[in-house]
Structure 1
């Protein structure tokens, strides 16, 4: 906070300039009210800048005399937003500040919207409970759709029954990656001695681990709320039940009983963990990917039912924490839908780190064994496993809550066309509910397109180049066709470059993994890129960009990559497609 004296007048509270590039900030929440006494260092309000929440502290002691800015206002830096000082001090006569910048992004977006849409919105003002676009669900697909619709000039509302950010930010991508970072730190400590760094065996305080995870989640979800408010999106708290007459009723929340009408509806209700019909999975203490994030003690043993992305990431996390982890997967390989070489490498690395991996194995039942569990497994591994905890991670299913009455084509998922439109002309759907690829970044991309199409544009979804990331140790990044898929359609050539030949990987001591590139032999089209190794989840972005721009394998190999970097392995694999890799022995 910046405080500036005004002679004998009160002290101004000013929107701070928290960084060279900051030009405006959003008032998220006042933590004080007029008349409150504060001491130096006390937090007095919360602001948003660059999508990050921060608390503004008092730089002097005194009384809050006047608050000029409302919560949700977007204001230029150095704007006076209040006064503090001694009781009875004079406060300049000042009208509440005008949040002019709050309207500018929307005004610019309206200018870019189709002309016919702007005219319609201008000539037909909506009543208080009527909206151009209503979004059901505030996950990575929903909140993006709502903001984009608002940018295009729509009067927009969003209905959310639980929390901003959906599964991804609250019990999915973000919290798990926060835990993965802890696993990476422990991995580095475990290998520090080989680099001449002697470190005592680390201790893990799971209560603080959870506290840090919760702090990260709070920061990001708070930022989403502020972004919605700054774009003037109306927020409704509760479960939205859609009727068949262009109305939606809010139930089971703070806004229960409110009815909203819409011209266009975007459904983004996401998914929930799937529980298979295995006897015993309804026992108290059986966890899904939601409950395991709230553990405050490290379990001695953990059985993970399911060897997909979720199961393998939690295996990495808790194995690094010192838990004896067993992964049971019914299919012949881990991450069954991905390239065979990725699956084989992941299994090798998990086993090398101490995880027991059972593929082609089925959990028959789970029984209570005192305060523990007994898991009966059949198939390639006929055995019984005793464990303190059991995690069910076989996947997720579409969340149809609130959609029971709506007359659109739906079964286990909602059917949409390439423009995200359902069987009803004015209703769209995005994210996991559509049954496409269950990834947060795809949901966000769909949300953008659905909002644009709802506002009269015609943007088609392209699912060919959707990158997938797995945050194990080492990481995995993948985009395009697997080798198995490519062989069914093309005459292919493959280039491969191992990380144990990469100078940067050797210097880092992270030599496990490879880059594999699959191409069409005739035209050099890049069909798929699969990476295991350090920074693989970042490296896959380069491959995705080149493929999206229809670059050939020759063009990828011709790009000059900085040295020494892990990214050089992508260039080397491109050269290897034609047997021209400089840093591999001639085949």
Structure 2
């Protein structure tokens, strides 16, 4: 029989849950993870990782078609969708096995089943409807994640109308695709299928795509995507989806007018809802608001000894946010000194469409809405030697500073590899770096990172190369 008494039990083995358990084990706690489906959670198995594998294949395909620009010859360029998907699934499987290895290495006990609170300090585990274990611990972390949101009349069926899961293992390569929603999930799938040749239409209810991003960056990305042939409709809603034989007719309403268009497939990317059902919250003091569990800055719910992290607790819905919360939560439980609560403004966000988009901190509009006196710097990719050498001259780096203190308030980027560059500004914000520190930092040449330096210089009228 497996042990049933632990110091910490984590319900959910995603990027928040398994990281929390490993950190607990490192701190000398006896930890367990209860996972109903797959270690690594949605991110590793059906989210961040497999989508990046798909997008990488699309990126390589796009580059191959541009071979002549680089003095190369490549004939008969094509893709095998089944092989692309197979590679993506293999990447996820490899990392799933890696998580299992890490948990075993750190002596974390893993229970295969669905876990739920069953009383103070207790967790009941079921598998296929049958009880398999009753566990006890002083501390319990809920890390059950979230799932795709659906609306009446727009329900996915896995065949013609897809969720992100269906889009990861497509049953066909659509010639004409509708993507509902232009957040990170929607715009990444739009980018993937469009790059492979699909005629893609994106419908967004807000007045611009990627609405959480800086307005200028959002507009730049839209212009680049439309220049490539993608159709984007903002300020619009999909009122109905009528399924036919091998197609879907969508009723799209925009500017007070409705029109019907027929598509091969539809991807729904209209947000997510927390997995708060059937996890034993009833009868506890934990509060749920808009499908998400409320917590304090240390991830503590209203129920003593019960914590919640990751997508279950709301935006931003990011794997790295979940992992960091897991560490903070466990370290606070263990009494580690100098634990800092998570500052949402210092969490970088990345969207891996083409062109890539990345940001940290607040937007220019948010800064102005706060009444702050700011300085804004910009530097275009076309002024950077490495970007031109890469054949990627379209993009921009934008930085926002407090004019009085020199504090870096936000950084926003669009263009090739900006998802790798953004962490430089993330470190700068964590260290409370000023514009002077960044100006005195030496950036290597020739690199894309030089644009980060030039953008800072630009904010204070000192840009050299533009």
Question: Smaller-chain TM-score range?
Answer: over 0.9
Q: CA deviation at 1:253?
A: 4.3
Determine which structure has more spread, i.e. the larger CA radius of gyration.
1
Match of 2:280 in 1: 403
Change (3 A) 1:207 1:296: farther
Select which of 437, 441, 451 maps to 1:559: 441
The structure showing larger relative contact order (alpha-carbon pairs under 8 Å, at least 6 residues apart) is 2
Uncovered stretches (5+) of structure 2, i.e. residues with no partner: none
The answer on 1:537 being equivalent to 2:416 is: no
Select which of 50, 66, 83 maps to 1:191: 66
Q: Residue 143 of structure 2 contacts residue 312 of structure 2 at CA under 8 Å; is this kept in 1?
A: yes
Q: CA deviation at 1:284?
A: 5.1
Q: Residue 401 of structure 2 contacts residue 407 of structure 2 at CA under 8 Å; is this kept in 1?
A: yes
Select which of 182, 193, 202 maps to 1:307: 182
Q: Residue 160 of structure 2 contacts residue 264 of structure 2 at CA under 8 Å; is this kept in 1?
A: no
Q: Residue 116 of structure 2 contacts residue 280 of structure 2 at CA under 8 Å; is this kept in 1?
A: yes
Match of 2:459 in 1: 577
Select which of 424, 436, 439 maps to 2:318: 439
Select which of 97, 104, 114 maps to 1:229: 104
Select which of 203, 207, 211 maps to 2:78: 203
CA distance in 2, matches of 1:287, 1:581: 47
Look up the SS of the partner of 1:573 in the other structure: helix
CA distance in 2, matches of 1:274, 1:188: 34
Higher helix share: 2
Match of 2:355 in 1: 474
Q: CA deviation at 1:406?
A: 5.0
Regions of 4+ moved over 6 Å:
none
Change (3 A) 1:283 1:239: closer
Instruction: Please identify, of 309-318 and 400-409, the stretch whose mean Cα deviation from structure 2 is larger.
Output: 400-409
Match of 1:391 in 2: 267
CA distance in 1, matches of 2:318, 2:424: 19
Select which of 36, 47, 57 maps to 1:182: 57
Q: Residue 161 of structure 1 contacts residue 253 of structure 1 at CA under 8 Å; is this kept in 2?
A: no
Select which of 377, 395, 417 maps to 2:296: 417
Look up the SS of the partner of 1:257 in the other structure: strand
Instruction: Please identify, of 223-232 and 275-284, the stretch whose mean Cα deviation from structure 2 is larger.
Output: 275-284
CA distance in 2, matches of 1:233, 1:542: 33
Q: CA deviation at 1:428?
A: 1.1
Match of 1:27 in 2: none
CA distance in 2, matches of 1:425, 1:289: 35
Q: Deviations over 1:29-56 (max 9, x none)?
A: xxxxxxxxxxxxxxxxxxxxxxxxxxxx
| 1:86-485 equivalences in 2 (<5 Å) | 128-253=3-128, 256-279=131-154, 281=156, 285-380=160-255, 382-401=258-277, 402-405=279-282, 407=284, 408-411=286-289, 412-457=291-336, 459=339, 460-485=341-366
Q: Residue 283 of structure 1 contacts residue 368 of structure 1 at CA under 8 Å; is this kept in 2?
A: no
Q: How many residues align?
A: 458
Instruction: Please identify, of 335-344 and 185-194, the stretch whose mean Cα deviation from structure 2 is larger.
Output: 185-194
